């Protein structure tokens, strides 16, 4: 079509094209300088929904990571304390064997009885152990001491709480971070209740020795000891589980960070290349523009 | 017989006409950059030829030319292109306003960032997890309280920004209406002047250009229908609004335009863009945000209460799923700490409304005053036990805190109002992400449309420029043409002068 061309047309066309070039350059420059290709929802409406989810998941992951370290330190503490209990129960076993030897004079048995008494006191102390001001062997009733030295061995001693405290490590995954007093020391009704057993041993030694009762109590002490070992290995298993969760969270974090970066971040190499292309086009449009716009017939009329 | 001075008259006509040509060319060059100007042309015709006067028809063969004259000066313009331009301009007006509004909304939501609603929401859930690890303490509760306040603030703030945007748009609509009226007034004034000049048989080209330029501006603001009558342009909007009627400009009002919009009469133009932005786009995002707030607080959720918890006064033997109304409903299952002999107190609402209404919106959501005053009013425990003879809340029980933290992944039932989001059942996060995704799509689309329309407008304008624009090259070559013609006419005049000189002074002197 024979179009009549006027300078106004050429000028507005040139301006439009230069403007288009500049718009593209500015958006690429923005990508390059922020390092992100997703700066506002309209940059990538589909990507933004993923981006929001990744960011959210990373934030929660960070929180779960904190939960993991707290759970670990709590489980480690429980392990240490149960370990201590393990040690004193072993000592009580040794003392029982010594007492059962049959050649001990009453004074020696009295001395053993005194030591068993000490072990009993120590067991109470361990039973009332606190971490951060919270009793660790009283289930969810962390504000109440579970054991009282004067009543713990009686049949009417109050039962310690048997509920577990769960900590969340991700959606739907939670791990209990405590063991209950009942599992460790035996319930009040259990025949091998540690406090009752220790008291029975003490009573079987002094003031007069009762070998049958001692043997019976020694047997119960052994089953309790097995229980304590069981609890300890369960704590160990839970620590392992938390370690695994920890590992999984770290893997997840890496994966999500990669995904987030793929969604949000600028592909520097590609963008720089495209930017250079745009720049070349822009330069070209400027220089041809300068050539086209300036001359008119007036320049050649003298 | 022809007159002796006939040719002098012919030369004079030529000189005058070429002068008119040169003046018009000068006028065109002067207005090369005037917006709305269309180039003008002098319409030349050969003047009426004559024959010598006599008693009867002369027998001299042929008709004698009498030179040139111009009948009119007209502008070069195509009405069709004007209509096309105005249609495109109308769409440009509409989309550029929508693009502007949507990009403002994007700024309000400010996603993806570390300070948007998503972040405060995450922090809120995280603080519950923190509290679940230390349910006995006041510290964890204070963190929950602060994060709840931050969440409420973020929602209030966002909702307020959207309301402010709506108010801005209302002001804009009023300003645009005033502009429309003032332009309409100018058009009516020009109609009067043009009519007066046309009565003399003239073409008021420059005034007509000015009038067309004003209509161009109007076309960006609202869809106008222009009818050219004997009284000038009559301009109407839709079926009910007459902006200009001959020399009168009744104009319009904001209310009138809004009524037309509702009746489907306002289609396109900045006015439509503004009304759509305010009444549809902004309303939509506001209502979605409101739905999100309301659902968070009151939406139906199903949670599993762990065994050992106290529910409805009895101790649960097994894990029991129950359906409750939102975060408030869940919180109310919990028990606050008590000191015997006081009995455990059921926890209250977490979020309330600041204006006392029953429906929670993003604007009126507020943290319960009880919790603001004393964070111990945040419950974490679902369990009560009789301890040493008196009923007590179990302080180490963190079941409620865990359930609260789990709400992040819990499916909420959204009210039907929110269904324009496409989500009736999902997590708060999903709802929010889908809202932001929708915003991104709309904004992208509006941006694309307005870029397109801008291109179309420039293109049509370029076509118009092709027809009406002043080309300096052309004008200059015309100028030279006219200048030469003028010189030639002058030379012609001199030639005739010399001929007459010969007759008058050089004849009848034979043999002198």
Chain A with chain B: Cβ pairs closer than 8 A: 176
Please check the confidence at residue B480 and state whether its pLDDT lies above 50: yes
Residue of B nearest to A42 (CA): B440
Q: What pLDDT, on the 0 to 100 scale, is given for residue B74?
A: 94
Decide which of B54 and A215 is more confident: A215
The answer to whether B472 faces chain A, any CB pair under 8 Å, is yes
**Residue B201 Cα, gap to closest chain A Cα (Å):** 30
Closest chain B C-alpha to A105 CA, distance in angstroms: 44
Distance CA B190, CA B181 (A): 14
**What is the per-residue pLDDT across A34-80, written as a single tens digit (0 to 9) for each?**
998 898 999 999 999 999 999 999 999 999 999 999 999 999 999 99
What Rg, from alpha-carbon coordinates, does chain A have? 39
- Look at chain A and count its residues: 302
Residues B365, B142: contact at Cβ < 8 Å?
Answer: no
Query: How many angstroms separate the CA atoms of A1 and A131, rounded?
Result: 90
Cα B157 to Cα A163, B94, B163, B336, distances in angstroms: 43, 28, 10, 31
Give the residue-averaged pLDDT of A82-95: 94
Q: Which residue of A has its CA nearest to B404?
A: A168
Mutation for testing the B interface, residue in A20, A27, A39, A41 having most B CBs under 10 Å: A41
The mean per-residue pLDDT over the stretch B208-228 comes to 94
Contact between B218 and B242 (Cβ < 8 Å): no
Q: Note whether A8 contacts B469, CB cutoff 8 Å.
A: yes
> Is A209 in a helix, a strand, or coil?
coil
- Angle of CA points B298, B302, B305, to nearest 5°: 115
> Is any Cβ of chain A less than 8 angstroms from the Cβ of B476?
yes
Smallest CA–CA distance, residue A233 to chain B, in Å, is 23
Q: What token pair was written down for A28?
A: 């690429």
Residue range B15-35: average pLDDT?
Answer: 94
Contacts of B461 in chain A (CB under 8 A): 12
CB pair distance less than 8 Å for B472 and A298: yes
- pLDDT value at position B108? 94
pLDDT tens, residue by residue, B253-308 = 999 999 999 998 899 899 999 999 999 999 999 999 999 999 999 999 999 999 98
Nearest CA in chain A to B406: A171
pLDDT higher than 80, residue B42: yes
Q: What is the DSSP string of B197-242?
A: HHHTT---HHHHHHHHHHHHHHHHHS--EEEEETTEEEEEETTTEE
Which of B437, B438, B445, B455 is most worth mutating to test chain A (most A CB atoms within 10 A of its CB)? B437
Mean per-residue pLDDT over chain A, rounded: 90
Contacts of A52 in chain B (CB under 8 A): 111-112, 118, 429, 432-433, 436
Most confident of A85-89, B262-266, B415-419: A85-89
The chain B residue lying nearest A9, using CA atoms, is B462
Q: What is the pLDDT of residues A288-302, one digit of tens each?
A: 888 877 677 778 776
What is the mean pLDDT of the segment spanning B88-100? 95
- State residue A2's pLDDT score: 58
Q: Which residue, chain included where needed, has tokens 């004007």? A: B82
What would the mean pLDDT of B63-71 be, rounded to a whole number?
Answer: 88
- In the structure, what pLDDT confidence band is assigned to residue A89 with cuts at 50, 70 and 90? very high
The pLDDT > 90 percentage for chain B reads 75
Whole-number pLDDT of residue A103? 81
With CB atoms and an 8 Å threshold, state whether B437 touches A60. Answer: no
pLDDT band at B48 (very low <50, low <70, confident <90, very high): confident
Chain B 354-383, residues with CB within 8 Å of chain A CB atoms: 381, 383
CB contact under 8 A, A140 and B383: yes
Best probe of the A interface among B112, B427, B483, by most A CBs < 10 A, is B112
Report the gap between the CA of B502 and the closest CA in chain A (Å). Answer: 38
pLDDT digits (tens, 9 = 90+) for B133-153: 999 889 999 999 999 999 999
Best to test chain A binding among B440, B449, B452, B470 (most A CBs inside 10 Å): B440
CB nearest B112 (choices: A38, A67, A138): A38
Residue A9 is nearest to which of B33, B136, B465, comparing CB atoms?
Answer: B465
Q: Which of B136, B440, B462 lies closest to A142 in CB terms?
A: B136
Residue B440 and residue A48: Cβ atoms within 8 Å? yes
Q: Which residues on A lie below 8 Å from B399 (Cβ)?
A: 166
- 8 A C-beta contact, residue A225 and residue A87: no
Q: At residue A174, does pLDDT exceed 80?
A: yes
Q: What's residue B52's pLDDT?
A: 55
Residue where the block lists tokens 């069709």:
B80
pLDDT band with cut points at 50, 70 and 90 for residue B44: very high
Portion 2-21 of B in contact with A at CB < 8 A: none
Phi, psi of A128 (to 5 degrees): -100, 25
pLDDT (average), residues B480-496: 95
Question: Which ipTM value was assigned to this complex?
Answer: 0.86
Contact B396 A165 (CB under 8 A): yes
Record: contact B396-A134, CB cut-off 8 A: yes
Residue B419 DSSP symbol: G
- Give chain B's mean pLDDT: 91
Question: What local confidence, expressed as pLDDT, does residue B111 receive?
Answer: 87
Q: Rounded CA gap, B18 and B488, in Å?
A: 10
Q: In this predicted structure, what is the pLDDT of residue B238?
A: 86
> Residue B27 belongs to what H/E stretch?
helix B6-30
Residue B53 has pLDDT above 80, yes or no: no
The H or E element that residue B304 is part of is: strand B300-305
**Residue A1's pLDDT band (cuts 50, 70, 90):** very low
């Amino acid at each position: 079509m024979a179009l009549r061309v006027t300078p106004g047309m050429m000028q507005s066309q040139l301006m439009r094209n230069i403007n288009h070039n500049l718009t593209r350059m500015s958006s690429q420059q923005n990508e390059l300088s922020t390092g992100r290709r997703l700066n506002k929802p309209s940059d990538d409406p589909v990507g933004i929904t993923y981006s929001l989810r990744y960011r959210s998941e990373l934030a929660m992951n960070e929180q779960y990571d904190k939960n993991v370290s707290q759970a670990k330190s709590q489980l480690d503490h429980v392990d240490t304390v149960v370990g201590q209990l393990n040690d004193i129960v072993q000592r009580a076993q040794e003392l029982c064997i010594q007492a059962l030897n049959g050649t001990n004079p009453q004074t020696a048995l009295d001395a053993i009885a005194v030591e068993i008494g000490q072990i009993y006191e120590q067991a109470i102390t361990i039973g009332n152990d606190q971490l951060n001001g919270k009793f660790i062997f009283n289930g969810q009733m962390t504000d109440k001491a579970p054991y009282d030295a004067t009543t713990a061995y009686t049949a009417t001693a109050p039962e310690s709480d048997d509920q577990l405290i769960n900590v969340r490590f991700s959606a739907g995954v939670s791990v209990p971070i405590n063991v209950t007093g009942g599992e460790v020391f035996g319930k009040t009704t259990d025949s091998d209740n540690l406090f009752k057993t220790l008291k029975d041993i003490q009573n079987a030694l002094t003031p007069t020795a009762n070998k049958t009762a001692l043997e019976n109590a020694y047997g119960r002490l052994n089953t309790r000891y097995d229980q304590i070992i069981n609890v300890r290995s369960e704590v160990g298993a839970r620590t392992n589980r938390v370690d695994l969760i920890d590992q999984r969270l770290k893997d997840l974090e890496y994966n999500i960070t990669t995904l987030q970066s793929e969604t949000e971040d600028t592909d520097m190499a590609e963008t720089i290349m495209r930017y250079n292309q745009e720049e070349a086009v822009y330069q070209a449009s400027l220089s041809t523009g300068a050539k086209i716009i300036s001359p008119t017939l007036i320049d050649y009329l003298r | 017989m022809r007159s002796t001075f006939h040719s002098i008259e012919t030369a004079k006509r030529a000189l005058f006409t070429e002068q008119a040509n040169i003046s018009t060319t000068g006028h065109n060059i002067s207005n090369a950059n005037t917006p709305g100007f269309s180039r003008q042309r002098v319409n030349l015709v050969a003047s009426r030829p004559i024959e010598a006067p006599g008693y009867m028809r002369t027998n001299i063969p042929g008709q004698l030319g009498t030179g040139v004259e111009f009948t009119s000066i007209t502008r070069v313009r195509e009405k069709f292109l004007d209509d096309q331009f105005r249609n495109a301009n109308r769409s440009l007006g509409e989309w550029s306003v929508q693009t502007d509004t949507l990009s403002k909304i994007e700024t309000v939501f400010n996603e993806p960032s570390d300070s948007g609603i998503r972040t405060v929401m995450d922090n809120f859930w995280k603080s519950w997890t923190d509290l679940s690890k230390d349910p006995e303490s006041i510290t964890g509760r204070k963190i929950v309280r602060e994060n709840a306040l931050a969440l409420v603030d973020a929602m209030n703030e966002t909702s307020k920004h959207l309301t402010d945007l709506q108010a801005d748009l209302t002001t804009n609509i009023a300003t645009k209406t005033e502009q429309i009226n003032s332009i309409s007034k100018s058009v009516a004034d020009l109609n009067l002047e043009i009519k007066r000049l046309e009565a003399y048989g003239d073409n008021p080209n420059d005034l007509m250009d000015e009038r067309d330029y004003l209509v161009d501006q109007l076309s960006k603001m609202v869809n106008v229908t222009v009818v050219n009558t004997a009284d000038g342009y009559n301009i109407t909007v839709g079926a009910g609004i007459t902006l200009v009627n001959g020399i009168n400009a009744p104009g319009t009002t904001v209310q009138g335009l809004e009524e037309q919009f509702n009746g489907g009469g306002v289609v396109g133009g900045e006015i439509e863009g503004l009304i759509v932005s305010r009444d549809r786009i902004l309303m939509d995002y506001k209502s979605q945000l409101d739905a999100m707030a309301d659902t968070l607080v009151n939406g139906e959720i199903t949670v599993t209460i762990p065994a050992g918890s106290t529910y409805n006064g009895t101790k649960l033997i097994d894990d029991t799923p129950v359906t409750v109304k939102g975060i408030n409903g869940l919180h109310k299952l919990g028990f606050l700490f008590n000191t015997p002999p006081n009995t455990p107190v059921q926890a209250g609402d977490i979020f309330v409304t600041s204006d006392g209404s029953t429906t929670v919106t993003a604007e009126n959501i507020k943290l319960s005053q009880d919790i603001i005053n004393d964070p111990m009013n945040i419950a974490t425990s679902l369990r009560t036990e009789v301890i040493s003879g008196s009923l007590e809340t179990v302080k180490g029980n963190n079941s409620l805190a865990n359930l609260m933290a789990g709400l992040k992944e819990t499916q909420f039932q959204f009210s039907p109002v929110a269904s324009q989001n496409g989500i009736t059942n999902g997590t708060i996060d999903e709802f929010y992400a889908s809202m932001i995704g929708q915003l991104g799509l709309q904004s992208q689309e509006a941006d694309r449309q307005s870029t397109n329309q801008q291109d179309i407008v420039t293109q049509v304008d370029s076509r118009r420029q092709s027809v009406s624009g002043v080309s300096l090259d052309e004008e200059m070559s015309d100028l030279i043409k006219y200048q030469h013609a003028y010189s030639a006419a002058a030379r012609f005049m001199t030639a005739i002068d010399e001929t007459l000189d010969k007759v008058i002074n050089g004849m009848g002197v034979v043999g002198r």
